[in-house]
Structure 1
Amino acid sequence: MKHTRRTWVGTALICLLVPGACANADDAAEHRTLEVIATHPHDPGAFTQGLEIDGTVLYEGTGMVGQSDVRSIDRASGAELARVELPPPFFGEGITLAGDTLWQLTWQEGVAFARDPHTLAEKQRVPYRGEGWGLCHQEGRLVMSDGSATLTFRDPVTFAVTGSIALTSHTDTRLNELECAEDGSVYANAWPTDQILRIDPDTGRVLSVIDAAELLPADQRAGTDVLNGIAQIPGTDRFLITGKYWPTTFEVRFVPA
């Protein structure tokens, strides 16, 4: 995002002259809702932790010890192309594609798996500190969440930490699954809510708050868990979103509330 010097000076003056104005900066975030374009079947046995689209292929990573896996699916037919399970004690978390590597996080085991995106075979394991929740790829960097209100940046080849940014509002949010959108923003599921935040990853500013509470009807909620999983359909303004153990994946647009 580009900001003029005048914009920043004006903001600074407001912060100085109006006590609490900057602390309530989240009030300026745009509020949006969902327009459902289409629905697709989703495996109700999948504890969804991450979605990623590459051309005609949809990748999904799932969690729970003894049930975690990563799978690739043909978007047109819904046919499964490949699947690799994570052995205990690994608890699978977010995934993202960076070049010729599909990265997969684990929750508390401190291990990232680098996989071949075609076969999903393991190429490498890389240790990291802290918890792994969500992951997405921007040009030149990975963006990772750990269940806090901070995003961590990592090298897409080595997985080394290169920086971080904390949210400037919504500071008690537990950021979960991430999607690096084509416009440079990052979409994040806010665990354990039905909200999605759109974030400027360079400033930590929350640009939009998206309410998805009405997405899955109440009569389909039995046996499901929270909203989780978001992936932009390349070249469009549409996204696929779902949840843990949800029977449906929704193709949506984010529109003004």
Structure 2
Amino acid sequence: MSTTRSLKKNHRQPQQKQNPSMAAPSAPPRRRKPRTLATVSALLFVFLVISVISLLLVSSNAWRAFQHVVSYDSITVVNEFPHDPQAFTQGLLYAGNDTLFESTGIYGKSSVRKVALRTGKVENLRKMDGSLFGEGLTLLSNRLIQVTWLQTKGFIYDLKNLSKIGTFNHDMKDGWGLATDGKVLFGSDGSSTVYQIDPQTFKVVSKQVVYYKGHQVHNLNELEYINGEVWANVYMTDCIVRISPNDGVVVGWIFLPSLRKELIEAGNNAIDVLNGIAWDAEQERIFVTGKLWPKLYEIKVSPIKKPIKEGMVEQLCLRSPFKF
């Protein structure tokens, strides 16, 4: 029998019924499940990666701080003016016509005062209750607004005569610094947070933690709003940090150790730290002073041309949280 005929015969031969228990195993099912699990796992992995990146970008200023270009500035003294060496400066602002307003601290010595820029003469002074420690001061709608240390209570004064016209309570943990862009108040409480405060209700409407290269910038003190940035004295340092109010990212550092060094070398050994920033927007003048400093300086800020040393900011400007 030829092979062809044999194959045809076998093809036509009916198949015998088999016992189910003895049946040949059927073809294995298509392996869809493993491929589905692999796909789900891959999607979950991608989702987790995207979530982590989004979390860093949206809720953590540390990531943005790594990506942002930071400027490093030095200063040149343009003018020197007399300043009351008994003034423990906490808040400072420029109000036009060569006039400054200043808030001073120390229990029993705290005050709000009007000061002539050129002479340093105190033209009007309102003493505070001995139980209060004056802190940050700003000016909005002809009202001087002041916060106090270790309290959430603040005061409102009439610009013309420094009479007290109101009190308020804020949502910060403490009162250190105040500034304004003319719409909202910016506040600090000695932490690494800049608060945005509604000037009508004094409620915090937003807050940003300030980071530099992944490090929180603690001890934010006296504040000033200058050309879209919040400038802050960093307590216990000779540094001013420039902050983006939108996200808390550090946009620059200003180094001012030469001022205190000069004062000490001139025999002013009783001075305390740098504190006090005022901005004359009309003439674009920057004024700085310190606690118990006999001088107030008009300064010019210029970028440092040479690259700064690695770790310089960490050494000069970053400190552990202040404890009292």
Residue 246 (str. 1) matches residue 293 (str. 2): yes
Q: Which residue of 2 aligns with 1:133?
A: 176
> Of the candidates 59, 80, 83, which is equivalent to residue 42 of structure 1?
83
Q: Which residue of 2 aligns with 1:100?
A: 142
Q: Residue 179 of structure 2 contacts residue 224 of structure 2 at CA under 8 Å; is this kept in 1?
A: yes
User: Which of the two has greater strand per residue?
Assistant: 1
Consecutive unaligned residues of structure 1, counting only runs of 5 or more, are 1-11
Highest RCO, 1 vs 2 (Cα 8 Å, sep ≥ 6): 1
Shift of 1:27: 8.0
- The count of corresponding residues between Structure 1 and Structure 2 is 240
Residue 119 (str. 1) matches residue 166 (str. 2): no
Q: Which residue of 2 aligns with 1:156?
A: 199
- Report the RMSD for the aligned CA atoms in angstroms: 2.1
Do the aligned partners of residues 221 and 22 (structure 1) sit closer, same or farther apart at CA in structure 2, a change above 3 Å counting? farther
| Residues in 1 aligned to 2:74 and 2:191: alpha-carbon distance in whole angstroms | 24
Residue 235 (str. 1) matches residue 282 (str. 2): yes
| Residues in 1 aligned to 2:65 and 2:138: alpha-carbon distance in whole angstroms | 33
**Aligned partner of 2:219: which letter?**
R
Residue 54 (str. 1) matches residue 95 (str. 2): yes
| Residues in 1 aligned to 2:67 and 2:111: alpha-carbon distance in whole angstroms | 36
Consecutive unaligned residues of structure 2, counting only runs of 5 or more, are 1-52, 305-324
Q: Which residue of 2 aligns with 1:6?
A: none
**Aligned partner of 1:61: which letter?**
S
Residue 189 (str. 1) matches residue 233 (str. 2): yes
Q: Which residue of 1 aligns with 2:47?
A: none
**Secondary structure class of the residue paired with 1:43:** coil
Q: Which residue of 1 aligns with 2:127?
A: 85
Normalised TM-score (structure 2) = 0.70
Shift of 1:93: 0.2
**Secondary structure class of the residue paired with 1:214:** helix
1:176-216 deviations in Å (ceiling 9; x for gaps): 000011x1101100111000001110111111111111113
Shift of 1:238: 2.5
Q: Which runs of 4+ in 1 moved over 3 A?
A: 21-24, 76-79
| Identity between Structure 1 and Structure 2 (%) | 36
Shift of 1:104: 0.8
| Residues in 2 aligned to 1:137 and 1:246: alpha-carbon distance in whole angstroms | 25
**Secondary structure class of the residue paired with 1:222:** coil
Q: Residue 101 of structure 1 contacts residue 114 of structure 1 at CA under 8 Å; is this kept in 2?
A: yes
User: Which of the two has greater helix per residue?
Assistant: 2
1:207-235 deviations in Å (ceiling 9; x for gaps): 11111111131324411111000011222
> Of the candidates 107, 114, 132, which is equivalent to residue 65 of structure 1?
107
Do the aligned partners of residues 26 and 131 (structure 1) sit closer, same or farther apart at CA in structure 2, a change above 3 Å counting? farther
Residue 203 (str. 1) matches residue 250 (str. 2): no
Give the greater-gyration-radius structure (CA): 2
1:106-158 deviations in Å (ceiling 9; x for gaps): 00132110110111111111123421000001131000000011111112233
**Secondary structure class of the residue paired with 1:215:** helix
Normalised TM-score (structure 1) = 0.87
Do the aligned partners of residues 23 and 205 (structure 1) sit closer, same or farther apart at CA in structure 2, a change above 3 Å counting? closer
Q: Residue 230 of structure 1 contacts residue 240 of structure 1 at CA under 8 Å; is this kept in 2?
A: yes
**Aligned partner of 1:151: which letter?**
V
Q: Residue 196 of structure 2 contacts residue 207 of structure 2 at CA under 8 Å; is this kept in 1?
A: yes
Which stretch of structure 1 is more off in the superposition, 83-92 or 212-221?
A: 212-221
1:151-180 deviations in Å (ceiling 9; x for gaps): 111122332222111113241421000001
